[in-house]
Structure 1
């Protein structure tokens, strides 16, 4: 789990830089200001949680279920939250309705919140 968390954290970080660069340059030409702002929100949250996954990966031993669940909630939360925002940002450009993804975004946010909550519980339990 440690290596998986580190690999996914690094991948999310790399992808955030790539998508952020596209958002700052190429996507400005095709997305409205409102959609570009949403896209950038997805990129920011992905980067924040990429860094968090790297920290978790470096410091946790993953010898308890709560550590594993914290990592999984954050990993899945980023997928649901950021990826749904990316797709929703492009629905007008692609000419398709992706409104069914609307409820997925808050589920991703909830998973990230659960991940952070589990971290708090880990810290309390270990008396950091």
Structure 2
């Protein structure tokens, strides 16, 4: 799973840079300022969470305990990027307001990914404490 997360993080990072460049150079003048802002939010969150996914891949590579929780976290980050950023890209490009209903689901997945990642640390500390007793 670590290789999948690493590859996915790299591809999401690369496509995030490409989307940012596309938005700045090709969409300016084509979209309203509001639509450009929406597109840029999608790009920014894609980049943040590509880095988060990279962190998950690194933790998995270092045999961090609780790999199942890390895998869930990584899957939530990927799902969140696809739903959150993807819906914002589509919304800004098509002006289909109904796509905005998908965005909060993606945001919830991103939040859940961070909470699951935090749980890995809490879980690890509790296990270390049990072993020391």
Give the alignment's TM-score, normalised by structure 2: 0.87
For residue 25 of structure 1, what is the aligned residue in structure 2?
A: 25
For residue 117 of structure 1, what is the aligned residue in structure 2?
A: 115
**Alignment partners' CA distance in 2, 1:47 and 1:64:** 23
1:3-82 equivalent positions in 2, closer than 5 A = 3-60=3-60, 61=63, 64-82=67-85
Flag structure 2 segments of 5+ consecutive residues without an equivalent: 129-133
What is the Cα deviation at residue 77 of structure 1? 0.5
For residue 95 of structure 1, what is the aligned residue in structure 2?
A: none
For residue 83 of structure 1, what is the aligned residue in structure 2?
A: 86
Flag structure 1 segments of 5+ consecutive residues without an equivalent: 93-97
Q: Deviations over 1:35-54 (max 9, x none)?
A: 00010000000000011111
**Alignment partners' CA distance in 2, 1:71 and 1:111:** 10
**Alignment partners' CA distance in 2, 1:38 and 1:64:** 34
Bigger Cα Rg:
2
Q: Deviations over 1:6-38 (max 9, x none)?
A: 111000100011010111111102111000001
**Aligned residue pair count:** 123
